[in-house]
Amino acid sequence: MALPMLAAAVIAALVLGYRFYGRWVARQFVLDPAATTPAHRHEDGIDFVPTRPFYLFGQHFSAIAAAGPIVGPILACGQFGWLPCILWIGFGVVFIGAVHDVSTLVASVRHEGRSIAEVVRVNLGRSAWLTILAFIWIALVYVIVAFVDVTAGTLVSQKTSADGITTTFDQGGAVALAAILYLGLALVMGLVNRFLRPPLWLQTLIFVPATLFVVWFGTQHSTWLLFTWREWVWLILAYCAVASVTPMWLLMQPRGYLGGFMLYGALAVGVIGIFFGGFTIEQPAWKGFDTPGATGLLFPFLFVTIACGACSGFHGLVCSGTTSKQIDKEQHCHPIGYGAMLLEAFVALIALATIMIVAKPSGGPGKTYAEGIGRFVTLLIGDSPEARQTAVTFGAMAFSTFIFDTLDSATRLGRYILQEFFNRHGKLSMVVTSILTVGVPLAFLETSQSGSYRIFWTLFGTSNQLLASLSLLTISVWLWRAGKKPWFTIIPMVLVMTVTITALVFQARSVASAEVGSTPWVNGLVSVTLLALALALVGFAARAIRRPAGAAV
């Protein structure tokens, strides 16, 4: 099948899924446009801030669209072929991933903007709440460690010399400078929006082109910020700690809005490259059920390797941790919750395209994606050496933006979890819990090397999707006790839980086979822990169903 025809079929499936199944799922919640949302009821200018849907969509999308839908599909395609990846992404996102996102978002809005952990406490009890907090904390640690490692790897010095260029070009330095300037632009936009209040279209007209300008500027001054991988780890985690206590309006909202356009731009050039670039599919559609690699078996490891491209529990943390506190009207949950997840599946499709057009990728997923997007961009700006530098920098910057915007969201969510656990909500607790949230990943990365994320990517994907199934389990109990028939959440919950429990059992075996204290042994021990926590939550859910029904949904 030709690449354009394949992409058109996937896009059609996503559009139809949003139009029909997504609307049907939204109707099950009876969204009320006249209802007062937590963003209005608890408005504080920091966490609870009513936000226009288009502005919030960009922030939400940039927060959920991290490395998962890029790294996962590229790794899975290289191991199993592109056909099973396409099938799982298309089916999984419409019937599982997007259902999880919109359900978690609505559940949080109906529970006063509380996190999914708090929703567990209300519906499953305090013991279940402590259990899910432990599970979420472990999952967040893996998210932060993996994404800090990947982000630092894109920013570290990568000196290259292009034909026809008399100066030395450093790819990592170019992306680093562009990323720092991008964050600076977000701060300026936040201040302008807060105190000058110009119309959003005017801000867009000024700041979005400025974002593209910093990409070009980074290529012209690529040697200004040259640090080692370990130095970038410290700097990124320090940024995450500060960003997680910064008011939403100052950094997170404008950064998410601008990041959304950066990501939209990457999607746009991806569409141009796929449909008008004349590229052919070089990768095989199928490589077998059991192929050499980090995992081997297609079931269950295809699903957890693709991770966020089809279903992500981290999205539920974003939905219930930050986005639910900014929903202006309940009816916005459908386009933001369900729609943004479908758009992330499109991100996964573009990522797949960047490896499908290459017979033998020359580097890891980040490099494959950046070079693929760069090839698409050169269709618009030409194929001179200077143009190629800017194009690849744009691709790498888009990749970093996907991850960077998620890192401080993950840290903020970790802060929320700890504050809920200790029931402390003052400014001092905000600072302390933020430092604790980045401290554990820092300790882990201090004993690791660049590229360590490859060792535990499978466990990251497994914990991530198992968290999604546990969130769906909780929502199913909530709906069931309110007199609903939540088969649309129960069926995907069972499917994802079956996949992830099987994957954990496979990974838990390394406790007995690996050297004590090694990374595989630690991953095996974590697998055993996650398995125990998940089974405990299933028990709590079974007990909760037998209790009298609570308040109406």
Structural domain contains residue 530:
yes
Residue 423, CA distances (Å) to 126, 244, 438 in order: 13, 18, 20
Per residue in 483-514, pLDDT tens? 899 999 999 999 999 999 999 999 999 888 88
Structural domain contains residue 340:
yes
Structural domain contains residue 372:
yes
Q: What six digits make up the tokens of 362?
A: 């020359």
Q: Does this model's pTM top 0.85?
A: yes
Per residue in 365-380, pLDDT tens? 888 898 899 999 999 9
Structural domain contains residue 552:
no
Per residue in 143-155, pLDDT tens? 888 888 878 887 8
Question: What pLDDT sits at residue 293?
Answer: 59
The answer to whether 294 and 454 are in contact (CB under 8 A) is yes
Per residue in 429-453, pLDDT tens? 888 988 988 998 898 788 777 766 6
Structural domain contains residue 128:
yes
Domain containing 518: what range? 3-545
Distance, CA of 81 to CA of 450 (rounded, Å): 27
Tokens 């202006």 correspond to what residue? Answer: 328
Distance, CA of 512 to CA of 43 (rounded, Å): 51
**Planar angle of CA 225, 229, 231, nearest 5 degrees:** 65
**Planar angle of CA 494, 498, 500, nearest 5 degrees:** 120
- Sequence-ordered list of residues with C-beta below 8 angstroms from that of 286, at least 6 positions apart, any chain: 80, 81, 83, 84
Per residue in 96-109, pLDDT tens? 999 999 999 999 99
- Sequence-ordered list of residues with C-beta below 8 angstroms from that of 303, at least 6 positions apart, any chain: 88, 92, 310, 465, 496, 499, 503
**CATH classification of the domain holding 357:** 1.20.1740
Q: Half-sphere exposure (CA, 13 Å, Cβ side) for 450?
A: 15
The answer to whether 320 and 115 are in contact (CB under 8 A) is yes
Q: What is the total count of domains within the chain?
A: 1
Of 18-27, 52-61, 129-138, 140-149, which one has max mean pLDDT? 18-27
Query: Residue 551: which pLDDT band, with cuts at 50, 70 and 90?
Result: very low
Question: What pLDDT sits at residue 168?
Answer: 64
